[in-house]
Amino acid sequence: MITTDLLLDFGAKLVSYDKGDRIFLEKQSARNYYQVHSGGVKMNNFNEEGKEFIQGIFQESESFGEPPLFIDVTYPANAEALSDTYIYVLPKPFFFDLLNTHPEEHLKITDTLARRLYYKAIMASELSSQEPEHRILRILDYLKKHVYGLEAPFSFKVNLTRQQIADLTGLRVETVIRASKCLEKKGAVKILKRKLYR
């Protein structure tokens, strides 16, 4: 999103995280802007029974956890490294200096946040009423078109586990496996070497 040179010019540091490391915790104060250099990050919550719900997954060049920086609230979720991950970390005051000096970057951030808000609004209605197959296709299509910019049939190789798809859609992993097989029979997805393609 924000170019590496610009981040470094304003004082960002490249920080390494091992798989499973927490980058920040739910209810912690927001102090930094984070942008993935390599690897991946998930933002998640756990309900009272300990079931995980994934709020989002972020890959190379994507930022995460920005809204609390703008409205001075605590994080609504945890952020955890999905693999060995490198992240640009820019302290909040320097982040705002960057945005004030480069308003075009502010517009990029606004566009990204608007897209995520739109996705959350759609998924909220999907989770409350739609069938498992429909929920799965919704999340896959969102990732395919809005995150990776792909259009061609089966051009999107889904880099999520069945468990992660379950956690993103509020389903059980067994339901995701069953629904994925039904979607393959209907020609909506392909399964090659246990990987989903949409």
What residue ranges define each of the domains in the chain, with the CATH number in brackets? 4-102 (2.60.120.10), 130-197 (1.10.10.10)
Residue ranges of the chain whose pLDDT lies below 70: 126-129
Dihedral over Cα of 106, 111, 117, 123: its sign? negative
The pair of three-digit structure tokens given for residue 73, joined into one six-digit string: 């609230």
Predicted confidence at residue 84, as pLDDT, reads: 97
Q: What is the pLDDT of residues 86-127, one digit of tens each?
A: 999 999 999 999 999 999 999 999 999 998 888 788 777 766
Question: Which DSSP helix (H) or strand (E) runs through 176?
Answer: helix 173-185
Residue linked to tokens 């979720």: 77
pTM for the predicted model, two decimal places = 0.76
Q: Do 68 and 26 meet the contact criterion of CB atoms below 8 Å apart? A: no
pLDDT for the residue 170: 83
Kindly report the average pLDDT of the chain as a whole number: 92
Helix, strand, coil percent content, the chain, rounded in steps of 5: 45, 25, 30
